[in-house]
Copies of this chain bind each other. A is one copy, B any other.
Amino acid sequence: MKALVTGGAGFIGSHVVDRLLAEGYRVTVYDNLATGQRRFLDDALATGRCRLVVGDILDRDRLTESLDGSSLVAHFAANADVRRGRDHPERDLEQNALGTSSVLEAMRAAGVERLLFASTGAIYGEPDVFPTPEDAPLPVQTSLYGASKLAAEGLISAYAHGFGLQASIFRFVSILGPRYSHGHVFDFVRKLLHDPERVEVLGDGRQRKSYLHVDDCVDGIVRALRRDEAPVSIYNLGHADVCTVDDSLGWIARRLGFEPERRYTGGERGWVGDSPLVHLDCSRIRALGFAPRRSIRESVEATVDFLLDNRWLLDSRG
């Protein structure tokens, strides 16, 4: 069995690579290394059953060639910078929607029919229903990131109906754990190492979020991979619990041994497109036996420990 993982050198993608290798697949990692890290593939490449192709998903010919013999694509390449959408409003569309179109066309050309896709809870915008189920009322998009991922989901579903593709789509909360390399824990750890005395918090600190450990996340993905038969299956992947940004900052600071003074920028949202509450209804994936093994606190602490052990990552981002 052969699989190709786009974004396979990234945070979540590289864990999917490891897991597919463990399941017996030969794996092609397809990654442009814009945010992916070769080091995340050290173990994978050492198996001898994994190869890395450095390429962009928009380079369709190269991608199609690289699919050679694969029966499965895990499409995890994305522009995942939800917060900075307004700084480059076309990047989300290009990387996430056009990129997905390119992946779908490459799959069609190569005759690959099975797809796993990394979507996001951001597609729910600011929902009215909590915990939010997969068939929530059609949401108004509040971020370019969410809009571009919803666009990608729509393309995938249309291909499933039009061309016989079979897709499993996962709407993630924020994922934490080893190889985590951007997001609020990353930012807080870096800020606190720079200045342990005081820290700026975007928003009022009371935004409530659900976080999931990457091992639990990959466990959910593999359950769906084994079981799905419908043309399109959509799953929320999150934790039954939520915590506030303040909770999370407290766990991070304590792990670092600091007691910083907190300064809040204020407002219910940390940035335009931030959601004051993220809490997904995960009954669908739980029906496949999914149950997170780590608490949110454990996931936050594991992430801090990883970053402390990998300071090169903290230094590598501007």
Residues on A lying within 8 angstroms of B by beta carbon are 85-86, 89-90, 93, 97-98, 101, 104-105, 108, 125, 134-144, 146-148, 150-151, 153-155, 157-159, 161-163, 232, 234, 272-273
Contacts and interface: CB of A to CB of B under 8 A. Distances in A.
Contact of A93 (B97, B138, B146, B272): B97
A48 to B, nearest CB: 37
Q: Quick one: copies of this chain in the complex? A: 2
A26 B163 CA distance: 45
Given A151-B151, A154-B141, A86 B135 contact: no
B90 A101 contact: yes
B232 A140 contact: yes
Given A89-B104, A150-B154, 4 more contacts: A89-B101, A93-B98, A142-B157, A144-B155
Instruction: Tell me which of A135, A159, A162 has the highest count of chain B C-beta atoms within 10 A of its own C-beta.
Output: A162
Contacts of A85: 158, 162
Given A89-B105, A101-B90, A163-B86, A158 B136 contact: no
Contacts of A155: 93, 141, 144, 147-148, 151
Nearest to A271: B162
A163 B142 CA distance: 11
A273 B161 contact: yes
Contact of A147 (B135, B154, B272): B154
Contacts of A105: 89-90
A234 B138 CA distance: 11
Contacts of A158: 85, 141-144, 146-147, 273
